[in-house]
Amino acid sequence: MFGGTFTDIAMWVFYPFNGPARAKVEFINVPLGKIGEHVGDWEHVTLRVSNFNGQLWRIYFAEHSGGTWVEASELEFQNDSNKPIAYSSLHGHAMYPKPGLVVQGSSGVGIRNDTAKSNTAVDLGLGFEIVSAEYLGGGIVVEPPWVNYFRQWGPKLSYDIAEEISKAEKMLPGRLKSAFEKIIKGLPNEVLGEEGPTGPKVKRSWNGDEV
């Protein structure tokens, strides 16, 4: 809820596997070996809907411990319908409103988040389950047991991050290695993590606003 004016509808998607990350260092694409791989991945989009007329106002696209609000007028819609489109990035599943490349970093150095148009899509309006609506009062929506599972949704994968970074650096000329190391060290745990993610109810957005 947003002051009684809007209702936020968070739509969570579970991916069984998060693939390895890739970096972009100026004009060079660098595979990062096992970095970023883990079993299980939770990502989401949040629809902000007007309580007065039911119109979609904006959507929050979650991206690796952060995200972006996008106005409804700037969204893509499927086949001229009222269904907005979200693009899920290759391997990492970060959500974006447009296809293309988003580099998570600065000055042309960072982690690649690649999205593209496809004939294959997942319609989140089909087969969904309402798992919580606390603002309606107790007993209206009964939370399924899995919502209150607070451990990681996947086993820990063991690998030496320093070794994987060293392998990746061998592809770079000397002047780019320091910039690459700086970006890697500043990445959020969701990118570097070896463990599966925690569930939706553990995220800060569950009881607060998307920021």
> What global pTM score does this model have?
0.88
- pLDDT (tens digit per residue) in 47-62: 999 999 999 999 999 9
Does a structural domain hold residue 147?
Answer: yes
For the CA atoms of 148, 153, 47, 208, the dihedral, rounded to the nearest 10 degrees, stands at 50
Q: For the chain, how many structural domains are there in total? A: 1
Residues of the chain predicted below pLDDT 70: 1-3, 187-194
Does a structural domain hold residue 133?
Answer: yes
- 12: Cα separation from own chain's centroid: 10
Does a structural domain hold residue 210?
Answer: no
Does a structural domain hold residue 209?
Answer: no
Per the structure, the complete domain to which residue 96 belongs is given by 6-203
The confidence score (pLDDT) of residue 145 equals: 96
- Tokens 């994968």, residue? 157
Residues facing 30 on adjacent strands: 23
At position 113, the amino acid (one-letter code) is: N
- Quick one: DSSP state of residue 144? P
Q: What ranges make up the beta strands (E) of 26-108?
A: 28-31, 38-50, 56-62, 67-71, 87-88, 95-96, 100-106
In terms of Cα–Cα distance, which of 197, 208, 144 is closest to 10? 208
Does a structural domain hold residue 66?
Answer: yes
Does a structural domain hold residue 46?
Answer: yes
Does a structural domain hold residue 208?
Answer: no
- pLDDT (tens digit per residue) in 80-111: 899 999 999 998 899 999 999 999 888 888 88
Does a structural domain hold residue 14?
Answer: yes
The confidence score (pLDDT) of residue 201 equals: 94
